[in-house]
Structure 1
Amino acid sequence: MPRIIAIDYGLKRTGIAVTDELQIIASGLTTVPSDSVINFLKDYFSKEKVIEVLIGEPKQMNGLPSESTPIIEKFVSDFKTQFPNMKVIRVDERFTSKMAFQTMIDSGLSKKQRKNKGLVDEIAATILLQDYLTRKMI
């Protein structure tokens, strides 16, 4: 069965998470510089079957688009141009970074480890993906 990928795109870094082949468990894959994420995905897609890609949709507390929306919309447009046959699903990413940071605390990571913003982005992508998988099974 093909995998599902989640992308937490940011101005500097992009966190990426992926499911197992049975689409049951989400795991952090990596964090890559945002300017090289398309090339990373080309390489990944050439090695692994992926059926759909979740891309975080930043929103404010009131549900309106956030300041980073234009940056992410450009990425989504570029992604669709590069991978026209890939199914893209947009998902609300509110609170994922805070949840990721709390997960790091709960896991007992040191202050130094919690300052690793790349790890926060990867965990945020994992949270997006696991939440999607949970809702999909209901």
Structure 2
Amino acid sequence: MTRLPHQPQAGETLADEAYDLLLWADQLTTEELGWLMGLAGRTFGPQFLAEALAEDKITAETVADLIGDVWSSAEFPDRHHDRDTWRWMFDTAGFTVDGKRAPRPTEPMTLYRGSVPERRDEDEVVVDTRGLEIREVVR
């Protein structure tokens, strides 16, 4: 990404500047999109990732590299996008381990989900449960 000479306007935030650069770029590497999201702040990650993906500015590998941190860092990620948008992004990323694409497990896995009591019954986690054995652990 070549930097665009940018003249900040009165009242413009770093998030505004980062979004302008996102819109201006033809293509973005993982590092470039990560930098823009860092400039904007963690709560803008979902918007930036979806925008870059929708506009074909990033590869599926970039989505795989970033989506875990974007989901985990956003305040209530389910409030940034509807479930279909998150499913689309997670489907694009494919199965990942530590941000890298990996083959799907062939054996059942144990999946733990933590939540504060008042949000316990909300469906916050987007998980393909085919092949998973789901058990509730209450402490």
Give the TM-score normalised by structure 1.
Answer: 0.27
* TM-score normalised by structure 2 residue count: 0.27
Structure number having the greater strand percentage: 1
Structure with greater Cα Rg: 2
